[in-house]
Amino acid sequence: MSDKKVEFDLNLYTFRLLQNEPFFAALSRRVHKRPTQAIPTAGVMINKSTSQFEMLYNPEFMASLTDDHKLGVLMHEFYHIIFEHVTGRLPPEGMSTMWNVATDLSINSHLIGKLPKEACIPGAEGPFKEYPVGKSAEWYFSKLQNDEQFKKPKDGDGQSGEGEGDGEGSGGSSGDLGDHVFDNHEGWEEASEEVKQIARERMKQAVADAAKEVQSKGSSWGTVSSQTRQQIMDMISPKIDWRKVLRYFVKTSQRSNKRSTVRRINKRFPYIHSGKKVTRQAKIAVSIDQSGSVDDKMLAAFFAELNSLSKFAEFTVIPFDTEVGESDIFVWKKGQKKVWERVLCGGTCFDAPTKYVNQHNFDGHIILTDMMAPKPIASKCQRMWMTDEHNAKNPYFQTRERVIAIEP
């Protein structure tokens, strides 16, 4: 190799490289990129003096890559930031070559065909051919720990696995693993927890700002997967307190009831006509999917909340699968300690409980389910769906009705 220093400014390439990746282009503008001869390839780290993320790159390494591979390396480093690999997402064992490879395998599942041959690619020819794509870093880490091809025979010092964990390229005879790490993760553990926390919050804001920029312009997300996009959107959107939503639903379902009482004075005709007492109460139907899709923790959390809401409403619990189990319907009363039991075990049809509720003049209808059935007929009263987090974000059918995730 020539001793002549290679002049290469990555900033001059990013616009062209990322023109079809709007999200990464927006994120790139928020990450400082610095050339250095101190590392052989590229990497991201936290600048301890500024508490900011930086992308470091070796100019000779980047200049030697094709445009497709330059793009892949850029996106690889940004994925490390998005997935918080730099700011504390570590296994109990701490930093190690094995963890570095695990994070790379997870990221490179998104970048197949875009990286140099030195990169570890799940499913590609080589030691990771039998590794599936699309798993988390934690999953790959566990897989690597139990992979016989990466277990070092115990010798004099009894060390095994991935070496002493002092960063990339230092894997010792687990050099088998170290040889498959092409970017640099050195320094991930060097920053203090305080610096990491500041950097983490700043980068979360940068990722959120990049996502909002893409949304505001109506741009596509490029090759960002729907799962990763959802992770990013979760970072932007504050979590909804399902208990507050449930309370609001119950209160907005209430209707006023007036009855005569001698204990109140009629303000218009005092002592001639009895007064009126106004009460606000709701009849709420709670339909529970019996197909096995609603787990016990979700049910326990929901019923615990009913006790605090029983002063606002009367709750009628309706078990259903493809039909309503009418003989098992019961009214939940204040302070009731009834243990919930599954009484049906069929499929799921939302029309059955909806028809029952429509026929019995309820003020509100709550359905606990995984939503894995066709969209039901219209409800005569307001209706709300309560499910787990995954199905709240990815419902089986589209609806304008409220869909809330119960987090036990």
Domains, the chain, in order of start with CATH, read 11-236 (no CATH), 242-405 (3.40.50)
**What's the pLDDT band for 344 if we cut at 50, 70, 90?**
low
Write down the pLDDT at residue 306: 86
In this prediction the pTM is: 0.55
Over residues 18-25, mean pLDDT:
89
CB atoms near residue 90 (< 10 Å): 18
Range name among 6-15, 44-53, 136-145 with the lowest pLDDT average: 6-15
Over residues 95-117, mean pLDDT:
87
Is 284 or 407 the better-scoring residue by pLDDT? Answer: 284
Over residues 111-128, mean pLDDT:
87
**What's the pLDDT band for 274 if we cut at 50, 70, 90?**
low
Evaluate if residue 399 carries a pLDDT over 60.
Answer: yes
Q: Rounded CA gap, 160 and 147, in Å?
A: 12
Specify whether the backbone of 257 is left (phi greater than 0), alpha (psi in -120 to 50) or beta.
beta
The predicted-structure confidence for 154-195, as pLDDT tens digits, reads as follows 544 434 344 333 333 323 333 466 666 667 666 666 677 778
CB atoms near residue 387 (< 10 Å): 24
With a CB cutoff of 8 Å and minimum separation 6, the contacts of 248 are: none
**What's the pLDDT band for 350 if we cut at 50, 70, 90?**
very high
**What's the pLDDT band for 260 if we cut at 50, 70, 90?**
low
Range name among 118-122, 167-171, 233-237, 378-382 with the lowest pLDDT average: 167-171
Over residues 130-157, mean pLDDT:
80
Write down the pLDDT at residue 170: 28
Going from the C-alpha of 20 to that of each of 17, 104, 203, 348, the distances in angstroms are: 8, 23, 22, 43
Write down the pLDDT at residue 273: 56
Write down the pLDDT at residue 122: 92
Range name among 60-64, 136-140, 178-182, 339-343 with the lowest pLDDT average: 339-343
Span between the terminal Cα atoms of the chain, in Å = 60
Is 3 or 45 the better-scoring residue by pLDDT? Answer: 45
Q: Which of these, 407, 405, 359, 408, lies nearest to 379 by C-alpha position?
A: 359
Specify whether the backbone of 169 is left (phi greater than 0), alpha (psi in -120 to 50) or beta.
left
- Is 292 in contact with 305 (CB distance < 8 Å)? no
Write down the pLDDT at residue 17: 79
Q: Are strands 255-265 and 52-57 parallel, antiparallel or unpaired?
A: unpaired
Write down the pLDDT at residue 317: 94
Q: Which of these, 196, 204, 276, lies nearest to 236 by C-alpha position?
A: 204
The predicted-structure confidence for 24-41, as pLDDT tens digits, reads as follows 999 999 898 999 998 888
Is 126 or 189 the better-scoring residue by pLDDT? Answer: 126
What is the DSSP secondary-structure string of 159-214? Answer: --SSTT--STT--GGGHHHHTT--SB-TTTTTS-HHHHHHHHHHHHHHHHHHHHHH
Write down the pLDDT at residue 161: 40
Range name among 70-84, 121-135, 180-194 with the lowest pLDDT average: 180-194
Instruction: Give the position of tokens 């990815």.
Output: 394
CA-CA-CA-CA torsion sign (148, 151, 155, 158): negative
Write down the pLDDT at residue 266: 59
Write down the pLDDT at residue 47: 83
Whole-number percent of the chain with pLDDT over 70 = 76
Buried/exposed 183-198: b ≥16 CB within 10 Å, e otherwise: bbbbbbeebeeebbeb
Write down the pLDDT at residue 404: 92
Is 353 or 11 the better-scoring residue by pLDDT? Answer: 353
Write down the pLDDT at residue 356: 97
User: Mean pLDDT for the chain?
Assistant: 80
